[in-house]
Amino acid sequence: MIPSGFEYHKATSIADAIAKLQDNEDAKLLAGGHSLLPMMKLRFSEAPYLVDINGIEGLKGISIDGDTITIGAMTTENELIRSDLLQQYCPLLVEAAKLVADPQVRNKGTIGGDVAHGDPGNDHPAVMLALDAQLIIHGPDGERTIPANGFFLGTYWTALEEHELLVAIKVAALKTGTGHGYNKLKRKTGDYAVAGSAVVLEMNGDVVRDIRIGLTNVAPMAIRAEAAEDLIRGKRVDEVLLKAVEKAIVEACDPAVDLRGDEEYKSHMAAIMARRSIIQAIKNAKE
Amino acid sequence: MAKQAVSFTLNGKTVDVLVEPRELLIHTLRENLNQTGAHIGCETSHCGVCTVDIDGESVKSCTLLTVQTAGSDVKSVEGMATADGLHVIQQAFVDEHGLQCGFCTPGMLMRAYRFLQENPDPNDEEIRWGMSGNLCRCTGYQNIIKAVKTAAKNLQQA
């Protein structure tokens, strides 16, 4: 399988990439390419012009300033996994990256591509929602920052406007008393989730002070399970509450039916993944 | 689309090719450079039979444009054996019967080659994790795990 023909340009800077997007109708950005190229080979997607952003130095790397961690959009999954900084300050990102695809794909696949592609099966969007991440976007009119909550609008549809480029992701370092978890049910290594759930919560003694629950691949886009969050906030989590939370999560789901399962199964699995992430997060909430 | 000139290093030698931007590295290797060790399997970056080593990382060459490899250092399975015989990893796959039909073997070898540099003394679980991007439909994987383990031991003694 070979994609249909296109022109190729290796961008030298963010400004160059944006200019090429403006100058070439229907141009697409090539990040890790492990979603886009298979889609182009299968002719699900066509692009007359590809702007390769792999060579742009400023798009890579992980740094921390005070409590804010900044991750360049072109940072690969394996770079997330190998990051001591993330292991210390935001281990949720490391744990989630380990569940993405396989070792070879993680050498090419990037966090920014995973987020900006808009595929509900990608793992980072739900993690971004749980972390309440901020997305730094550059476009012809300069820079803007928007919250991950509200970025995911539908399948392959995000709040990125035409000619815009996701350049970095900002998340807060997980502070004392904060717990996290990402659980993903998949049929085999490298597969998309049947269902997945990312949780970040803040404990106050044995009461959950605040919680965010993100869900993977059980709706047209990654979603927050807000009704379930409302049930937990300010409460001690016990079996009765978890049952109610599961019910709220099933109600929030609207999965596409495919070979991974029907609607009822996928929704139920989302509830189980969320339950596991909640229990795990309470357990690992930092002292 | 106009063809572009691309140069990269393949198994230590500089190669120059003229390719359309849409040409994938696996096709350049097999059809242009006649290096047919890397195979074409799923073509959607799942199976790992097209795995080669690029600038010190394992990459699936079915999901990389040849134009993207300009200036890179590419190593394929053809670069493993020398005039003195098989590479230690290849010999371990022979000794442990780590293959049956052999279709997945070039990818397995190239992934093991890089994995054992990332983790020279892996346990079984780490081998399964490190080799999880390569599928085999014959062996049931047990002997592949053994082969990688034996290769690790022999590489350390070498």
B126 and B64 assigned to the same domain: no
Final residue of a domain: which of B77, B112, B135? B77
pLDDT digits (tens, 9 = 90+) for A66-99: 999 999 999 999 999 999 999 999 999 999 999 9
Nearest to B66 by CA among B107, B10, B134: B10
Instruction: Give how far A77 is from chain B: nearest CA, Å.
Output: 13
B119 touches chain A (CB under 8 A): no
Looking at chain B from residue 123 to 152, which residues have their Cβ under 8 Å from any Cβ of chain A?
129-133
Domain CATH code at residue B111? 1.10.150.120
Instruction: Specify the pLDDT at position B1.
Output: 72
CB A177, CB A203: distance < 8 Å: yes
Query: Which residues have a Cβ under 8 Å from the Cβ of B59 and sit 6 or more positions away?
Result: A104, A107, A108, B51, B52, B53
B124 and B153 assigned to the same domain: yes
B11 and B65 assigned to the same domain: yes
B62 and B125 assigned to the same domain: no
Give percent helix, percent strand, percent coil of chain A, each to the nearest 5. 35, 30, 40
CB A199, CB A193: distance < 8 Å: no
For residue B61, being part of any structural domain is answered with: yes
Nearest to A49 by CA among A1, A80, A3: A3
Q: What is the dihedral angle through the alpha carbons of B106, A77, B14, B34, rounded to the nearest 10 degrees?
A: 30
- Verify whether the Cβ–Cβ distance A189 to B133 is below 8 Å: yes
For residue B95, being part of any structural domain is answered with: yes
% pLDDT > 70, chain A: 99
Instruction: Give how far A251 is from chain B: nearest CA, Å.
Output: 33
Instruction: Give how far B158 is from chain A: nearest CA, Å.
Output: 26
Instruction: Give how far A226 is from chain B: nearest CA, Å.
Output: 35
- Verify whether the Cβ–Cβ distance A33 to B23 is below 8 Å: no
pLDDT at A166 over 90: yes
For residue B69, being part of any structural domain is answered with: yes
B153 and B93 assigned to the same domain: yes
pLDDT digits (tens, 9 = 90+) for A3-23: 999 999 999 999 999 999 999
Instruction: Specify the pLDDT at position B158.
Output: 75
pLDDT digits (tens, 9 = 90+) for A99-134: 999 999 999 999 999 999 999 999 999 999 999 999
For residue B83, being part of any structural domain is answered with: no
B132 and B72 assigned to the same domain: no
For residue B57, being part of any structural domain is answered with: yes
Enumerate residue ranges in chain B where pLDDT < 70: none
pLDDT at A204 over 80: yes
Nearest to A196 by CA among A188, A187, A184, A213: A184
B93 and B71 assigned to the same domain: no
Q: How many domains does chain B have?
A: 2
CB A72, CB A59: distance < 8 Å: yes
B98 and B142 assigned to the same domain: yes
- Chain mean pLDDT for chain A: 97
Helix axes B105-118, B88-95, angle to 10 degrees: 120
A104 touches chain B (CB under 8 A): yes
Domain CATH code at residue B69? 3.10.20.30
Which of A104, A107, A188 should be substituted to probe chain B, the one whose Cβ sees the most B Cβ atoms within 10 Å?
Answer: A104
- Verify whether the Cβ–Cβ distance A104 to B44 is below 8 Å: no
Taking one residue from A and the other from B, the number of pairs with CB-CB distance under 8 angstroms is 83
pLDDT class for A287, splitting at 50, 70, 90? Answer: low
Instruction: Specify the pLDDT at position A277.
Output: 98
Q: What is the dihedral angle through the alpha carbons of A234, A237, A239, A240, rounded to the nearest 10 degrees?
A: -10
B14 and B70 assigned to the same domain: yes
B96 and B73 assigned to the same domain: no
For residue B138, being part of any structural domain is answered with: yes
B135 and B70 assigned to the same domain: no
Tell me the residue range of the domain where B47 lies: 4-77
B70 and B9 assigned to the same domain: yes
A5 touches chain B (CB under 8 A): yes
What ipTM goes with this model? 0.96
Would you call A67 helix, strand, or coil by DSSP? coil
- Verify whether the Cβ–Cβ distance B133 to A38 is below 8 Å: no
Residue A199 CA to chain centroid, in angstroms?
12
- Name all domains of chain A by residue range, CATH numbers in brackets: 7-52 (3.30.43.10), 64-172 (3.30.465.10), 180-284 (3.30.390.50)
The DSSP result for A219-266, as a single string, is SSS-EE-HHHHHHHTTS---HHHHHHHHHHHHHH--PPPBTTB-HHHH
- Verify whether the Cβ–Cβ distance A6 to B24 is below 8 Å: no
Instruction: Give how far B65 is from chain A: nearest CA, Å.
Output: 9
